[in-house]
Each structure stands twice: as structure tokens, then as C-alpha cells.
Amino acid sequence: MNISIDVKELDQQTTMTLAGEIDAYTAPQLRETAFPYTEKKQASVVIDLSGVTYMDSTGLGVFVGLFKSLNANDGTLKLVGLSDRLKRLFDITGLADIMNINSEAEGGV
């Protein structure tokens, strides 16, 4: 039960690459790492989930929290590289309709 979080900042855009499992044990770590980037004005945060092997509802809660925080600061959130299983999770919860979600990983920079 581990997660790795790699953060790259370029101008206004923050790209986070996650790998591992997002559950009740690792979610607090993700929240603490990612939250500060969502609190800047008009931040653009891209999160690459292609290395995520498991995510439960606690993990989903973190993304909703990030989404809300970015919205409150006129920022944007984009999730990329979702596996079918993750895609289903966002579909079921209705989040796919309000969040920017893409199954493909981001090409280039």
C-alpha cells in the first residue's frame, strides 16, 4: 500500500504523476501534497493517473476536494491516464460529467 507523487511545476501549470494505490492509508499523503497547488489563483493542475493501480472512495474524495478548491480559486483540474476501472468510478459517481477527465495520458509537455 504505497503511493508515489511526482510534482513538476512549469509557469502556471502543475503536473502531478501518481503511481501506486490511493486508499484510506495513502489518501492523506496525496491530499497534503496536492492541496497547496490548488490554492493559488488560477492554477492549472494536471494529474496523471496512469500509474494508479487501485483507488477507493477515499481517494475519490481527495479529487473532489482538489476540484472544489481549484474552482474556488478560478483554477482548473484535469485528470489524465485513467484506467477503465478508474473511469468507471468517475462515471458512477457523476464526477465525469463535471470534471475534465481523459483516459489518454498527456502527450509531450
The footprint of another protein (CB under 8 A) covers 24, 31, 54, 56-58, 60-62, 64-65, 67-68, 85, 92-95, 97-98
Cα 77 from Cα 62, distance rounded (Å): 12
Q: Which is nearer to another protein, 24 or 105 (CB)?
A: 24
**Cβ neighbours, 10 Å, residue 29:** 15
Q: Which is nearer to another protein, 54 or 106 (CB)?
A: 54
Q: How far is the CB of 107 from another protein (least distance, A)?
A: 29
Q: How far is the CB of 27 from another protein (least distance, A)?
A: 9
Q: Which is nearer to another protein, 35 or 105 (CB)?
A: 35
Cell of 47: 494529474
Burial class (CB in 10 A: 0-12, 13-18, 19+), 18: buried
Q: Which is nearer to another protein, 31 or 87 (CB)?
A: 31
